[in-house]
Structures are given as C-alpha cells and as structure tokens.
C-alpha cells in the first residue's frame, strides 16, 4: 500500500503543479477536493471556489514550482500527507514574488482519484 500510495500522491501533486503552471482550470478543478482548505504563506485561507476563482482570474500566476525534501506519509487507505520544501516564482495581483516554503499537503482518494484536501505553506526565513 505504501509505495503505491506514495507514487500516486506524487503523481497527483506533479499534475497539480502542472495545472497551476498552465493555469488549467479544468485540470486543477479535478485535482482539488470540494472540502479544500488552502492556507497561503501569507496566512490567508481559501476554499476551493475562492482558490479556483483567483487562479482563473489570473490573480495568482505561477511561473515556476520546485519541490525538494518531499516525503509522503501514508495515513491509511485513501489518505496521505505530502511534506517538503516548495520554492516557486509567482505573480500575485501583478507583483512577482519568490517563495521558499515548508509545505504540508493533505491528499485523499475519492472516487478512484487522489485530490488535494488541505494545503499549508510556511515561509522559511533566510
């Protein structure tokens, strides 16, 4: 179970990052759970509708996303946490930023697909 789950979660996260970089609303919608709680590094929290609206409107534009130190923790059947370090270049409301964050992402398998349920990023101080 562990290796299969880890591979599936990493594949889902890779697809999520690709959808964010391409600003592909349909692909992103399929990868986000309706229960999504997305906590930005600023402390602002969005549900799925708010996050998707910001992405579709171009208010958040991801230019690059890089993962390191990533690890999947299998919690049980259909539940896992992805932890690690995410560095990204992003344009928020027209202002370009470089982010270097510790990330905790909760994934759940529903209807045969892995979907992001919760995301929390914490900025690292240089």
Give the separation between CA 84 and CA 100, rounded to whole angstroms.
11
pLDDT digits (tens, 9 = 90+) for 88-104: 999 988 999 999 999 99
What is the pairing mode between strands 60-76 and 45-47? unpaired
18-31 pLDDT, tens digit per residue, is: 999 999 999 999 99
pLDDT at residue 126 in the model:
57
Query: For the whole model, what pTM was predicted?
Result: 0.92
Residues of the chain with pLDDT > 90, as a percent, come to: 86
Domains of the chain as residue ranges with CATH: 2-123 (3.10.450.50)
* Mean model confidence pLDDT for the chain: 94
What is d(CA 80, CA 59) in angstroms, rounded to the nearest whole number?
A: 29
**H-helix or E-strand spanning residue 84:** strand 79-92
Per-residue confidence (pLDDT) for residue 3, from 0 to 100: 85
Given a cut of 70, is residue 34 above it in pLDDT?
Answer: yes
Distance CA 92, CA 41 (A): 12
**What's the mean pLDDT in 24-48?**
95
In the sheet that holds 79-92, the strands lie side by side as 45-47, 32-39, 113-123, 95-110, 79-92, 60-76
Give the model's confidence band at 1: pLDDT under 50 very low, under 70 low, under 90 confident, else very high.
low
């Amino acid at each position: 179970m562990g290796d299969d789950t880890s591979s599936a979660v990493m594949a889902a996260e890779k697809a999520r990052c690709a959808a964010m970089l391409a600003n592909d609303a349909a692909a992103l919608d399929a990868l986000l759970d309706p229960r999504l709680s997305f906590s930005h590094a600023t402390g602002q929290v969005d549900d799925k509708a708010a996050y998707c609206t910001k992405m579709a409107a171009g208010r958040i534009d991801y230019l690059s996303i890089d993962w390191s130190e990533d690890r999947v923790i299998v919690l049980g059947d259909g539940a896992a946490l992805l932890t690690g370090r995410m560095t990204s270049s992003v344009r928020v409301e027209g202002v370009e930023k470089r982010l270097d964050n510790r990330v905790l992402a909760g994934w759940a398998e529903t209807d045969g697909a892995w979907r992001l349920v919760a995301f929390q990023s914490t900025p690292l101080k240089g």
